Amino acid sequence: MGGMIRRDRFDLPEPFRRFIEGEWETPWPRIEEFRDGSTMVVRAELPGVDPDNDIELSVREGMLQLKAERREDSEEKTRDGYRSEFKYGSFSRDISLPPGCRQEDVTASYRDGVLEVRIPVPQEPPPGAGKVRINRG
């Protein structure tokens, strides 16, 4: 491949690389899903967000849709000058829900940077769901 030079992202000095590419090493957010008895629990680490303005939760067509946006700014004033840095990030994830889950039963709370969503899972199959008969032929 005559004259083609491959540049790896680690070739740049660390502070410059972080400025250009963002923080690739810290995925945002971390999410876990588990069952707590008859309740499905979804937890997402979302530090530094305002749950009233930066998080959107909805249930559609058997999916829990989570959207979040993080805005972070920092200022540093020294006698030599002033530096301001803004970091933005958005995230969207769809999580499959067990059959029969209803939006009106879903509850959510935000504490210490962790969003917790609790979804009651019906014990009985939803109406219209049932065993499919297999015909021999």
CATH number of the domain where residue 64 is located = 2.60.40.790
In-domain check, residue 86? yes
In-domain check, residue 10? no
pLDDT, position 90: 81
pLDDT, position 49: 84
- Give the pair of three-digit tokens for residue 114: 């962790």
How many structural domains is the chain composed of?
1
In-domain check, residue 53? yes
Place of tokens 């009106």: 104
In-domain check, residue 20? no
In-domain check, residue 4? no
Structural domain boundaries enclosing 106: 28-120
Neighbours of 108 (CB within 10 A): 15
Closest-CA residue to 99 (of 121, 132, 118)? 121
In-domain check, residue 21? no
pTM of the complete model: 0.61
Torsion, Cα of 124, 105, 91, 30 (10° steps): -70
In-domain check, residue 70? yes
pLDDT, position 33: 93
In-domain check, residue 133? no
Residues of the chain with pLDDT under 70: 1-28, 72-74, 82-88, 124-130
